[in-house]
Amino acid sequence: MNSPLVSRGKRMIIVTGGAGFIGSAFIWKLNTAGIDDIIVVDEIDHSEKRRNITNLKFRDYIDKDKFLQQIENQKLPYKVDTVIHMGACTSTTEQNAAYLMQNNYLYTRTLAEWTIQNNVHLIYASSAATYGDGSYGYSDDYETTLKLQPLNMYGHSKHLFDLWALRTKTINKIVGIKFFNVFGPNEYHKGAMASVVFKAYQQINNTGKVRLFKSYKDNYKDGEQCRDFIYVKDCVEVMWWLMQNKKVTGLFNLGTGKARRWNDLANAVFSAMDIKPSIEYIEMPETIRGSYQYFTEAKMEKLRSVGCNTEFHTLEGAVMDYITSYLKKQNPYLQSLDK
């Protein structure tokens, strides 16, 4: 980990989950904009997470439990402008409901109350997992949000905070982002929860082929299940826009707005690796068949309506950049290089 920088007296930007995937990518974005008055909050329990921030610039690091104690006691030793709250348990297979409630719901609620009390801008991570099986569609309007029924405990813990923020009107003072299927550099610590792009790259290197789940619905052929895949670099551009436009509040989807097939994604990986496609369809574990999403597609009109016109990579362009600029490199991590 790099040495903390000397503060220049500016108000800090706090990034919780700052050593994680999207959090570290956003610190990279801040660094490219010349910003390093950053406090990283996380629990570094994996060497890959540590490497996510080794080449990034920030002011200080605080353990997530210590940070929670500091804000509960109003003893945080920094003046803060913005909190980017990406810290959470992101495992969709986690079954410990008490842990998810504490880590995803109660922690976020405490942080939201603190930011409002202290006039601090808050952007927090929700999830497309809140949409469940998609029966109510993928609109981020409030009427739809109140109806949603997530399929797993992770989605439920995220949804509970969204509901609390809506019912208490806290959402009118903060920003929530419903991330869809994010992939890109700095996800290497995520293990089973890493993107299929990353897993496919490893599989092709090792076996020459990609394994995808079979379909168990007649209206979807094998590999034609669809997801809204979005590159992490596009996510941080939207987050940057939201951080700069503090008058914008509410709950917003963040996907490309274009569902793509798993077969499309696999073929994009083969193309980026310049290898002839070879896909094997395998049985889906019975433990997840009942909660598997066959189609997700973010409705993006709400974000566009508030003035965010960020242009997104195509799936093929994003996969090409990820593989050629990062996965094929000796050091695949996002880096803030001195100019």
The domain 12-183+229-255+297-306 is classified under which CATH number: 1.20.1290.10, 3.40.630.30, 3.30.70.20, 3.40.50.720? 3.40.50.720
- At 90, which helix (H) or strand (E)? none
Quick one: pLDDT at residue 1? Answer: 42
d(CA 267, CA 194): 18
**Does the domain made of 184-228+256-296+307-339 have the CATH classification 3.90.25.10?**
yes
Beta-carbon contacts of residue 304 (< 8 Å; ≥ 6 apart): none
Quick one: pLDDT at residue 104? Answer: 81
Active-site option among 107, 131, 138, 154: 154
Q: Which residue has the tokens 């801008």?
A: 121
- At 51, which helix (H) or strand (E)? helix 47-54
d(CA 305, CA 109): 27
190 is an active site residue: yes
Structure tokens at 130: 């809140």
Structure tokens at 36: 């390093």
Quick one: pLDDT at residue 163? Answer: 97
Active-site option among 190, 199, 209, 214: 190
Residues of the chain with CATH 3.90.25.10: 184-228+256-296+307-339
Quick one: pLDDT at residue 102? Answer: 80
Quick one: pLDDT at residue 3? Answer: 37
- pLDDT one digit per residue (tens) for the chain, 339 residues: 443 443 445 799 999 999 999 999 999 999 999 999 999 999 987 788 999 999 999 999 999 999 999 999 999 999 999 999 998 766 666 567 777 788 789 999 999 999 999 999 999 999 999 999 999 999 999 999 999 999 888 889 999 999 999 999 999 999 999 999 999 999 999 999 999 999 999 999 999 999 999 999 999 999 999 999 999 999 999 999 999 999 999 999 999 999 999 999 999 999 999 999 999 999 999 988 887 889 999 999 999 999 999 999 999 999 999 999 999 999 999 998 754
Closest by CA position to 25, among listed 12, 13, 14, 15 = 15
Quick one: pLDDT at residue 91? Answer: 63
